[in-house]
Structure 1
Amino acid sequence: METEARNSTEAALLHYKEGLGLFNRKMPRLSEQYNAFTEECFEEGELSKREKQLIALGISLYAQDEYCIIYHVKGCLDQGCSEQEILEAVGVTAAFGGGAAMSQAVTLVQESIDELNQLTQ
């Protein structure tokens, strides 16, 4: 059953979850192992979950992966990152990724923060 999204960020997250669900049904063993691996990578350790989400957001920006950008903006917000912390991580990424990273930061990251914050209000 398809759920109606209230904004483009939520629509992208739903689209990703739907695709993941289909992949899970077709490749359950691989999907289960991948999910276990990634869950372990994001567990609290010497680095906090917050720090790991900020790192993942930077890598997502650098890789120009729009689904991961949105997913990790949400992860940052869920872990209590402020908008300023997210934007500072974006700045570090832009220092390495140049214009491509900055273009995603000034559009998709800011739109995702705004839209995801509206969902929690």
Structure 2
Amino acid sequence: MEQEQNIQHTISAKDALHDYKEGLGHFSEKMPDIAEAYKAFTEVCFQEGSLSRRQKQLIALGISVISQDEYCIIYHAKGCIDQGCSEDEILEAVGVSGAFGGGAAMSQTVTLVQGAIQELHHKGH
């Protein structure tokens, strides 16, 4: 029988997503033109195209791991889950990040990414 790992990470995935949305809302109130342009740009970037939305979320998660950005890691881990990625697909994608980012990328993978998967995928989101 496989034991579920209890990995501690620095922030709750759900809290981080809430904080991000709240902060984005505040920024949008203060800088609506910039916020709308950014939103339109990112929506186009993540549209279905030659790459699927699923593939784009996996790429974005890998970039987030390399960038060491906890909020983006959690946001795109959720994006991967929302697009139906399996835990193995997510871990393989961020494993590739380790080839470029070494120990720093792997530390994010074995803590924050796995914690977000456990919190968002196994408990619902």
Q: Same fold (TM over 0.5)?
A: yes
For 2:92, which of 77, 88, 94 is the aligned residue?
88
Aligned residue pairs: how many? Answer: 115
Instruction: Please name the residue that 1:29 is paired with.
Output: 33
Distance 1:39 1:86 in 2: 21
Q: Percent identity?
A: 69
Instruction: Please name the residue that 1:13 is paired with.
Output: 17
Q: Please state which structure has a larger fraction of its residues in helix.
A: 1
The within-5 A match list for 1:22-101 is: 22-101=26-105
Displacement after TM superposition at 1:50 (Å): 0.4
Displacement after TM superposition at 1:117 (Å): 1.6
TM-score of the aligned structures, taking structure 2 as reference length: 0.89
For 1:105, which of 109, 117, 122 is the aligned residue?
109
Instruction: Please name the residue that 1:3 is paired with.
Output: none
RMSD: 1.2
TM-score of the aligned structures, taking structure 1 as reference length: 0.92
Distance 1:120 1:103 in 2: 24
Structure with the bigger RCO (C-alpha within 8 Å, sep 6+) is 2
Q: Which structure 2 segments of 5+ residues have no match?
A: 1-10
The reply on whether 1:117 has 2:121 as its aligned counterpart is yes
